[in-house]
Amino acid sequence: MTQPPGKKLWGGRFAEETAPLVEQFNASVGFDQRLFAQDIRGSLAHVAMLGRVGVLQPGEVAEITAGLHAILADIQAGAFEWRLDREDVHMNIEAALRERIGPVAGKLHTARSRNDQVAVDFRLFVKEAALELAALTRELRRVMVREAEKHLSSAGGQPIILPGYTHLQVAQPILLSHWFMAYAAMLERDEGRFRDAAARMDESPLGSSALAGTPWPIDRHDTAAALGFARPTANSLDGVGSRDFALEFLAACSILMAHLSRLSEETVLYSTFEFGFLTLPDSHTTGSSIMPQKKNPDVSELARGKAGRVFGNLMGLLTVVKGTPLAYNKDLQEDKEGVFDSFDTCAIVLRLYAEMLPRSVWNAEATLKAAGRGYSTATDLADHLARAGVPFREAHEVVGGLVGLASRSGRQLWELSDEEMRAAHPLLSAEVAQSLTVEASVAGRRSYGGTAPERVREAVEAAKAALG
C-alpha cells in the first residue's frame, strides 16, 4: 500500500496539502538521514519489546523486523530514495516500510511518538560520537607522549631545549618534551570530558512517547538495555524536551578545539623562517599559486580557523534551547547540524595532527639558541642569591639591574665582567654568571611537574602506563 501523493502520515485532520515552501522549510531529511542506522536500531528494539509484552503478534514482529532490515540494506547500498515530502529520516523509513510490507507497518508506531523516536536516535548518535572523539583524543595524546619520549634525546644524545614563553616573550628554557607533555595533559582532560558526557547521557528516552508517557504496557528498561543504554530517562517531559546532552558534547568539542587551536598557533609560529624551530612535512602543507617558494601550514591554520565554527555551534544550540518551553518544540530540529559539524571537524583535526606531528622535524640548534635569548636564565641568578640568604625581592631587583646593564651594552648575562657582577652584589661573580646556561636552568627545575629531564621522564612513563 503506497502513501497517497501529498498525504502525510500525520495528515488525518488536515484538509489542505502542505504548501511547497513550508515543506521545504520544515524538512530535515537533507541532514538527519545521517541518523538512519540509529533510527532503525531504535525501531528494531521497540518492535521486539512490543512483541515481548504482547502488544504485537510474533508474525507481526517478524514481518516488521524483516522489513526494517531490508530497508537498512537498501540505505547502505545507496538504493534508498530519500524524499523531501516525507520530511525527515523517521517518516522516510516508516513510509518505505509501509510500501514494503503494507498496513502492518503502521503498528510499529504503537506506544511511540516521533518526539521520543528522534530523541533516542539523537542520543544514540551523540553518545557514540562522544566515545569516538574520546578514542581519537586518546590516540593524539598517545602521539604527544611518544614525541615527548623521542625528543628527550636529540641526535647528540641530549634533550631538545625550547624557549618557554609568557606574553610571547622569552621567559625560561624548557624541554621540548615538556611542551609535548603539556598538550598531552590537556588532551587527557578532553578525553575525560567526552567520556563523562557519554556516561551522563547514557539514558534512553524511548517510551516517553509525545511527552507524557503511554498507557500501553511497554517495558522501557527492556528497550534501554537493547539499545545499549544504562537506564531509561526518569521523566518523560525531560526525555523528549531536553538537549543538554548535546550541549555538553558541544562544550567538550569546543574546549578540545580551543586546545587544538593553541597547538595550531604555535605550530604556525614555530614553522616560520623567523622562528625556524619546526619543519612541517610536505604531505601536510600546501604551496602558493604565485609564489613558488611558499610552504604554507594550511592544516594548522584551518584547524585554528575551524575552532570558531565549533564554538559557534555551541552558542547556536544554547540560543535555540534557552527559550523553548517543555516539552518538544520544532526549534529542536536545529539541534543536529551543529553537532554533526562539530563531530566531523574535531574528528578530522585530531586525525590530522596524529599524522602530522610524528612527521615534523625540530631544529634543535635553532631552539637551543632561541632558548638562550631574552635573558631567560635571569630567574636562576635571582634564585642563586635567594639560596644564599638574600630576600628574593632584593635579589629580583639586583638581577633586574644587571639585565638592564647587559641589554644596554648588547650582551648576555654570562658575558658580564667580574667587576660588574660584584658591583651589583658581593655574592656575585663572573664565575656565577658563566654558570647561567640554559642546560643548567632546565636541569635545575626539579619540582614535581617541572621541566628537568628526570621529571619529564617520570611524566612520560606515568602517561605511558595510563595509556596502556
Confidence (pLDDT) at 217: 97
Please state the rounded mean pLDDT for residues 214-225.
Answer: 98
Please state the rounded mean pLDDT for residues 393-407.
Answer: 96
Phi then psi dihedrals of residue 14, to 5 deg: -95, 135
Catalytic residue among 153, 288, 409, 417: 288
Confidence (pLDDT) at 17: 82
Catalytic residue among 43, 113, 153, 167: 167
pLDDT tens for 79-97 read: 999 999 999 999 999 999 9
pTM: 0.93
Confidence (pLDDT) at 1: 42
The pLDDT of residue 10 is above 70: no
Confidence (pLDDT) at 276: 96
Please state the rounded mean pLDDT for residues 215-219.
Answer: 97
pLDDT tens for 340-369 read: 999 999 999 999 999 999 999 999 999 999
pLDDT tens for 272-321 read: 999 999 999 999 999 888 988 889 999 999 999 999 999 999 999 999 99
pLDDT tens for 43-78 read: 999 999 999 999 999 999 999 999 999 999 999 999
pLDDT tens for 441-457 read: 999 999 999 999 999 99
The pLDDT of residue 3 is above 60: no
The pLDDT of residue 410 is above 60: yes
Confidence (pLDDT) at 4: 53
288 is a catalytic site residue = yes
| Reported confidence tier of residue 196, pLDDT bands at 50, 70, 90 | very high
| Reported confidence tier of residue 12, pLDDT bands at 50, 70, 90 | low
425 is a catalytic site residue = no
* Residue positions counted in the chain: 468
| Reported confidence tier of residue 20, pLDDT bands at 50, 70, 90 | confident
The pLDDT of residue 168 is above 90: yes
| Reported confidence tier of residue 26, pLDDT bands at 50, 70, 90 | confident
pLDDT tens for 94-140 read: 999 999 999 999 999 999 999 999 999 999 999 999 999 999 999 99
Confidence (pLDDT) at 203: 98
Confidence (pLDDT) at 6: 53
- What rounded mean pLDDT belongs to the chain? 94
